[in-house]
Structure 1
Amino acid sequence: MANYQNILFENKEGIAHLTINRPDKLNALNIQTIEDIKVAFEEIYDDATIKGVVITGAGEKAFVAGADISEIAELNELNARKFAESGQEVFSAIENCHKPVVALVNGFALGGGCELAMACHMRVATANARFGQPEVNLGVIPGYGGTQRLTQLIGKAKSFELCMTGDMINANQALTLGLLNYVLDTQTEAIAKCEEILNKVISKAPVAIGLVIDCINAVSNEQENGYQTEANGFAACTKTADFAEGTTAFLEKRKPEFKGE
């Protein structure tokens, strides 16, 4: 396992818990933290014992309260583009991971924090969670995919409003808009909900789960025909041992035992 500076990383019975660990900075994303997340997901991709992921922030105040403003203030047009593209690459790796990734949002998820949460496949929040893309207050715009994923999740009109006003919304508003899957009162309840979701997903056929992720992500990819991706994925599933096991188990009225083959 890699030595991480700004995250905590633990594999708990097949579920990787990745915690952004800069509570004194409200878990703000600096360049080193983005690099830590990148390396962690390389490990998640490669480690067959990891079946699912929970991403959260240390402490009770913030999931991630944004990017590190001291770094952003030093950017210019040339290195800002690379800065944004590097973050987008890491968040794309999260979005396209074939293992289910759930964000546990506790407290503030602003700017890069909201973008990180949206890169995950599902989002569970505590009642004190707050979401927003306040970059216009700094004279910039979201750079890690916020304008794209927010629009995909909640639609153009509300995305225009949030990205242009910089306003925050609370957990219940985020749930109503479709940004969240669940809101729980406490962090303990939220962790339990994340693990409940992941354990349910992990019990299904892993190849099929990975292909579901590909197909749903294809909806927002203009260069890809999502219907064709779905048909191709459906056909690919029929070649797997898990397909034979799943259909046989159904006909024999027993619980399937999937092996990811």
Structure 2
Amino acid sequence: MYQYLLYQVQAGVCTITLNRPEVYNALSPALIQEITQAFEQAKGDESIRVVVLTGAGDKAFSSGADLKKGLDGSTSLGESLRKNYNPMILAIRNLPKPVICRLNGIAAGAGCSLALACDMIIASKTAKMSQIFISIGLIVDAGSSFFLPKLVGSQKAFELCSTGRVVEAQECLSLGLVNSVVAEEDLDTAVAKMATQYANAPTLAIGLLKKVLNQSYHSSLEEMLELEAIHQDIAGKTHDFGEGVMAFLQKRKPQFKGF
């Protein structure tokens, strides 16, 4: 079904792997469209409780835009963003399920934006991030202007974007760009552990939580209080809420179904 990525589902975990290792998983228009399609497919599959996004090979998550295939002059850069990149980022952010980035190498340019669009990032010690756009005279795109200031503050975001410098894994951790850093040989185990945790979590409630947190970026306290009330009503009518309360009263581990 997919030519440029791998799509696998096992035990409630969907793993989407960018599969262009020969070009460091550079984002061609075709790959971008496949990523969007893959997330839409995961959204419609009720058996999927969590998505893991990663890159093939051990050198790169994604090196960013494929300049050989993405700048042919047939469309403007703005139109390319509207047609390809923006729908991809929105498909990830609007997915009502958790998304874990398995950061296995360099994430540069739009590849960095792609990683930051995920809900959690588990990085290997050899992983790196770079807002490299400025090196070819461009501004950041694919959502980095939205994600970065909220993660690191406006001054640090300006520094990272205006210099395009490479940020090593440990600095990424200290800045809050990633959730954890593990040894390269432990990356799969760490990601699998987190994915399993989410695969057994109350998925519908997590989807509602994700929606509310996304809304908080541009809402007042009063608006957020009302949004919490609306979505708590929805969560309170789920199977998982009843199971969670019952498990608490019975002093046992809850068996969530995801609905």
| TM-score bucket (shorter structure) | over 0.9
Structure 2 CA distance, aligned partners of 1:14 and 1:94? Answer: 17
- Runs of 4 or more off by more than 4 Å in structure 1? none
State which of 99, 102, 105 in structure 2 corresponds to 1:104: 102
Aligned to 1:151: 149
Counterpart of 1:123 (choices 121, 124, 130) is 121
- Give the stretch that moved more between structures: 84-93 or 54-63: 84-93
Aligned to 1:43: 41
- Please point out which of 29, 32, 40 is paired with 2:30: 32
Measured against aligned partners, the alpha-carbon deviations of 1:67-102 in whole angstroms (never above 9, x if no partner) come to: 0112443347x6322211231221111112111110
Aligned to 2:205: 208
Alignment identity in percent? 36
Q: Residues 29-55 of structure 1, C-alpha deviation per residue, up to 9 Å, x if partnerless?
A: 010000110111111011112111111
Mapped to 2, the partners of 1:141 and 1:59 lie a distance apart of 28
Which of 62, 65, 73 in structure 1 is aligned with 2:63? Answer: 65
Structure 2 unpaired stretches of 5+: none
Report the TM-score when normalising by structure 1: 0.93
Equivalences, count = 257
- Cross-structure match for 2:188: 191
Q: Check the 8 A contact 2:27/2:62 in 1, yes or no.
A: yes
Measure, in 2, the Cα distance between the counterparts of 1:131 and 1:252: 46
C-alpha displacement of 1:123 = 0.2
Q: Which residue of 2 aligns with 1:18?
A: 16
Amino acid at match of 2:189: A
Using the TM superposition, name which of 48-57 and 169-178 deviates more: 48-57
Unaligned runs of 5+ residues in structure 1 are none
CA RMSD, Structure 1 to Structure 2 (Å): 1.8
SS in 2 for 1:220: helix
Write the deviation string for residues 175-224 of structure 1: whole angstroms up to 9, x where unpaired. 000001111111x4112111211211222222211111112212223599
**Paired residue secondary structure (2:217):** coil
1:219 alignment partner, SS class: helix
SS at 1:17 equivalent:
strand
Instruction: Tell me the SS of whatever aligns to 2:140.
Output: coil
1:182 — aligned with what? 180
